[in-house]
Amino acid sequence: MLVINNFKEFESFVGKEIGVSDYLKITQDQINLFADATLDHQWIHVDVEKAKAESPYKNTISHGYLTLSVLPYLWGQIVEVKNIKSLINYGIEKLKFNQPVIVDSEVRLRTSLQSIVNLRGIAKAEMKVTMEIKDSRKSAFDAVIVFLYHFEEGYI
């Protein structure tokens, strides 16, 4: 895991890969819980028997937003930014779901820092992220995520 102590250290990674997370298995239990939380019970996600018989994937698939929602967990495996008061999810840009994540697939996050700017004491970081699927040449999604890091005084 990369440890970043201040804005200057963070800035040194612009244009570079920051890291890759461990793989995370997406289970049917996770899919079902996500369906309950979002009220999205489309059969292709939750009806295992129907999905095996009728889905082009021959199994259930994860909600696209479920794969997106594990991004903060996987990001936390890649980098630890110290000396901050808060971290805010500011936005997602250029999000493209490239292919579904079939139940029991393993995914991981690959990220690089596109830019970081000091906005009056708050660092706005834009990261290119790719959610890779184990043993697949095509990613689950690509996006640019934007975080706001409010560094403690003296660290920006």
Q: Are 4 and 82 in contact (CB under 8 A)?
A: yes
Under DSSP, is residue 78 helix (H, G, I), strand (E, B) or coil? helix
**Angle value at C-alpha 152, between 82 and 87, nearest 5 degrees:** 60
Would you write out the chain's pLDDT as a tens digit for each of its 156 residues? 999 999 999 999 999 999 999 999 999 999 999 999 999 999 999 999 999 999 999 999 999 999 999 999 999 999 999 999 999 999 999 999 999 999 999 999 999 999 999 998 899 999 999 999 999 999 999 999 999 999 998 888
Nearest Cα to 152, choosing from 123, 124, 109, 110? 123
Amino acid at 101: V
Q: Which pLDDT does position 81 carry in this prediction?
A: 95
Q: Which pLDDT does position 154 carry in this prediction?
A: 86
d(CA 84, CA 79): 13
Tell me which of 3.40.50.720, 3.40.720.10, 3.10.129.10, 3.90.550.10 is the CATH number of domain 2-151: 3.10.129.10
* Domain ranges across the chain: 2-151
d(CA 152, CA 6): 9
- Predicted model pTM: 0.92
